[in-house]
Chains A and B, each alone.
Chain A
Amino acid sequence: MIVFHVNGKEQRVDVTPDTPLLWVLRETLGLTGSKFGCGEGLCGACTVHIDGRAQRSCITQVGDVQGKKVVTIEGIPENHPVKTAWLAQEASQCGYCQPGQIMSAVALLAQKPRPTDTDIDSAMSGNLCRCGTYGRIRRAIHAASGKASPKGGKRS
């Protein structure tokens, strides 16, 4: 039995410890907001926060999050400045990569409330978007800059 916290709630899952966290979130816990894109940590669609840091859940074994705090897109409040900025900038197109993008952006702003373009490049370049929403994501991050709660959303 692996015990960890997801979006503030304790979860106990009975799966083999080598199962990627992504599939535990999606299939065991029904939290399908985190997406499968590559399975190799190359695209960022599966990005979640583990103890406050943006991580690729597709290459994180669930056994390694024992006792840790995981936040997924479902745990980011609707009124979070990053979500608000995403809406205002109409950042989404197909939308598939956006939960991962948002999780990376929330983590970035929690760490650097006023990121430069270079900071954005370095924090966000592991999150691929086939639709080409990068310009809008950059604008949304700048718009949310200085507004994000220091904790970057509900972490509990």
Chain B
Amino acid sequence: METLKSEYSHIKGWGIDNDPQDEPNYPMKNYTGDDHMRIRWKRPTLQKVDVELLLSTERPTPSAVFGSKNPPRGLSGMIRRYAFKYSENEFKHWLPLLLADRVDVVEGMIEDLIHLKFPRVVKERGWYALAKHAPGILARKIGVRLAVLAAIAGIGTYKLAKS
């Protein structure tokens, strides 16, 4: 240890937390002698449930505290309610949640428009930072989007002309 210590003297605190007793399976359980009692803990005071709370099927009751903001809403909320019929073990739980997140984005835009708040996409996407630090990347992003729009417009025009 001392030989090694001198070898690493340029590194402050080298080896100070080395514990030869530390073996895999850490953190060790903190056995208290009444381990069989561990599942019967005295629960904290329960937060009042005054919003719609979607509960994992893998637990019988809500946790004592939870976040109360952004309860399920609209179509995304319906999808989330469907997802929470299934356990965390199921893809049927997680994939609908990802879908709900995307639907929620559209609902958020509609909500903004209802409140006469127009999405400031350039600002919200942080493109000012791109313009300052990586104008080439920004140009590429804009170029790709314009190309996609042009392609969609082209296909639309072609189909219209054909019909």
Does A associate with B in a complex? no
B contact residues vs A (CB 8 Å cutoff)? none
